[in-house]
Amino acid sequence: MKFLVVDDERDVEMLFRQKFRKEIRSGLIEMEFAFSGQDALDRLKNTQPPDVMYIFSDINMPGMSGLEMLAKVKSQFPKIQVSMISAYGDDENYKKAINSGAKEFFTKPIDFGSLKAEIDQMLSNSR
């Protein structure tokens, strides 16, 4: 199962690869990384149908915000699940994300235990 992590901070890639090292090594999941909302949309459009099953996206990014990207993903690729990540756990961002179709809303620093539980649930649902 392929996941796409979208964040303008490039060190997030190393963090995710480290936290999911066992799952990646065993072939349970595959992770790709995009560093902007537009980059993420371009990656989805380049594979028809998209092979990404789940997106984790930061909300606050230059250019297209994560919330703008979420709306485009849900309208163009409604089967792809999206969870939002924000440094700010404010109610406004939470409500916008959930109302726009986000599956979950995580705040930084990310609770990787919760994130792994989310992934485990998706993997068991896809079997």
**Domain ranges, ordered by start, for the chain:** 2-126
CA angle in degrees (0–180, nearest 5) for 115-118-122: 140
Q: Given a cut of 80, is residue 126 above it in pLDDT?
A: no
Token output for 67: 């919330």
pTM of this structure: 0.93
pLDDT attached to residue 127: 65
* Mean pLDDT over each residue of the chain, to the nearest integer: 92
Task: Give residue-wise pLDDT tens across range 61-96.
Answer: 999 999 999 999 999 999 999 999 998 778 899 999
Label residue 71 exposed, middle or buried (CB < 10 Å: 0-12, 13-18, 19+). Answer: middle
Task: Give residue-wise pLDDT tens across range 104-125.
Answer: 999 988 899 999 998 888 888 7
DSSP class of 53: E
Q: How many helices (H) and strands (E) does the chain have?
A: 6, 5
The Cα-based distances of 121 to 58, 116, 124 in angstroms read: 21, 9, 5
**29 near 2, Cβ under 8 Å?**
yes
2-126 homologous superfamily: Response regulator (3.40.50.2300)
